[in-house]
Amino acid sequence: MQIDADYEDLERQVNSYLDHLIADRKSHGWLPDQARECFFTACDFLEGSKRCLTPVQVNEVSVRAPQTTAIVTLSFSCELFIKAQLIHEKNPGMGHDLEQLFDRSKKDFQDAVSNKYLQRTNRNSKELLSDIAAFKKSFVEWRYLYDVEKRYNIRLFLLLSFAQSLFDGCLLNDAGWNKDNEDWYEQLRSPLNHNVLVSAHESGVQTRSVMTIED
């Protein structure tokens, strides 16, 4: 049929264009637009995590917020913000370890993130590094929570503050990522209205996660 032939021709054209685009990018290494795409993907994960942290009324007596999903997406947003910055610095990083990735970035970026973190949490640069060490593997640990062999604790307020500080640090690199998105960016910057500690531990044959409000 003619429709099938037209579709196949269009598909060939699209695939040819994509092959050319990929080859061009490979020949030039890591390009600024890839850093930008990584940054905006990180923004999407940050937004998704904040939606997960918004409690939903399940019935007359209970509310639910999928905190495990929030932690995984929030951790991944941190990873992508750092990787976006590293691509921008032409020093791309691999893996999920937030501590190793952050240590790979330039000092001016680290200082900018530290200053933003201090404003949000009143915790200094030394405490920031301690916090990063505490949740450096949170993406992997909480993604495989069903196979947990030990107790995990994570302070969502600090993890969110780190993600938001990375977000602001990326915007200071003068790569043009801060244009025409201020309304959305303000939503991404908004804090939690409470401090949350999430714990996960093995309980019989089931793994349970517990969310508690810190004083």
Tokens of 29: 């290494």
pLDDT tens for residues 107-146?
A: 999 999 999 999 999 999 999 999 999 999 999 888 887 7
- What is the DSSP secondary structure assignment for residue 58, as one 8-state letter? -
pTM of the model: 0.77
Look at residue 171 and tell me if it is in a domain: yes
Look at residue 81 and tell me if it is in a domain: yes
* % of the chain beyond a pLDDT of 90: 42
Query: Which regions in the chain score pLDDT beneath 50?
Result: 30, 32, 202-215
| Residue whose structure tokens are 């932690």 | 71
Is the backbone of residue 116 left (phi > 0), alpha (psi -120 to 50) or beta? alpha
CA distance 83 to 93: 6
Look at residue 16 and tell me if it is in a domain: no
Backbone phi and psi for residue 148, each to the nearest 5 degrees, phi listed first: -65, 140
Look at residue 22 and tell me if it is in a domain: no
Look at residue 59 and tell me if it is in a domain: yes
Look at residue 170 and tell me if it is in a domain: yes
Q: How many domains does the chain have?
A: 1
Range of the domain at 163: 32-146+157-192
pLDDT at residue 199, rounded to an integer: 56
pLDDT tens for residues 192-214?
A: 765 555 555 544 333 444 444 44
Look at residue 178 and tell me if it is in a domain: yes
Look at residue 116 and tell me if it is in a domain: yes
